[in-house]
Amino acid sequence: MSGKLFIIGLGPGDAAMLTPQAANALAQATDLVGYGPYVVRAPERVGQIRHISDNREELDRARHALEMAAAGRVVAVLSAGDAGVFGMASAVFEAIDKGEPAWRGLEVEVVAGVSAMFAAAARVGAFLGHDFCAISLSDNLKPWALVLQRLRVAAEAGFAMALYNPHSGARPWQLNAAFEVLREILPPATPVVFATAVSRADERVYITTLAEAESSRADMRTLVLVGTAETKLVERPGREPWVYAPRSVA
């Protein structure tokens, strides 16, 4: 097969966070495939075709991309952040695993991107400087009871958490429900960061405590960072504090 499939992480939004490797892959592509807000972030190129689909059509999108690559096109499947972190990489490999045997012979390259959790952590200091995990609060593909179980286990184990997909119009109650579970385990003063549209022109970053955290500060562009009993604030007069994870645990 002469086609190729790139799976590209575009980073959190700032063009400066698009890696040179990703920019090079975008320049090679004959076709771009992805959710509309992500596709429009890619630079316009003469002759390049854009295939835009809804956010919940990941497997159909992956199959379409694989069909075009199998037909000899150079296809770029786009994700925000890193494509391997709640992004399109898993969907593409699931489609290959369950799809046409010939797809296993395609050249597929996953291009790493800057994940939103790393951009958000860097924005406030060193929030993820020790052990941490990433959890999606969406229950579209897993039971809500499993989400709560993972939150409890992570909090009990002392992991800082990056919470993806914290809020949507269909499930506005889930983030507060998650906070209630975490309040049973973590101290009230545990730092929490709401990072919305991090690195973009409309960025909003708000630092609070678990006791005061409210889901009204989040939308689907928000990443929520939840610290541990060891997470520290460095206060700065007249400026927002830095937040960091100590390198050692007592």
- Average pLDDT, whole number, for the chain? 95
Q: Is the pLDDT of residue 206 over 70?
A: yes
Number of H helices, E strands in the chain: 7, 13
- Does pTM surpass 0.85? yes
d(CA 161, CA 146): 16
- Give the per-residue pLDDT at 53: 87
Closest to 83 in 3D by CA, of 50, 56, 58: 58
Segment 220-238 shows an average pLDDT of 95
Q: pLDDT grade, residue 169 (50/70/90)?
A: confident
Listed by start position, the domains of the chain span: 4-114, 117-244
Instruction: Check if CATH label 3.30.950.10 holds for domain 117-244.
Output: yes
Q: Given a cut of 60, is residue 231 above it in pLDDT?
A: yes
Q: Which CATH class is domain 4-114?
A: alpha beta
pLDDT score for 171: 80
pLDDT for 23-80, tens place per residue? 999 999 999 999 999 999 998 899 999 999 887 789 999 999 999 999 999 999 999 9
The pLDDT of residue 1: 55
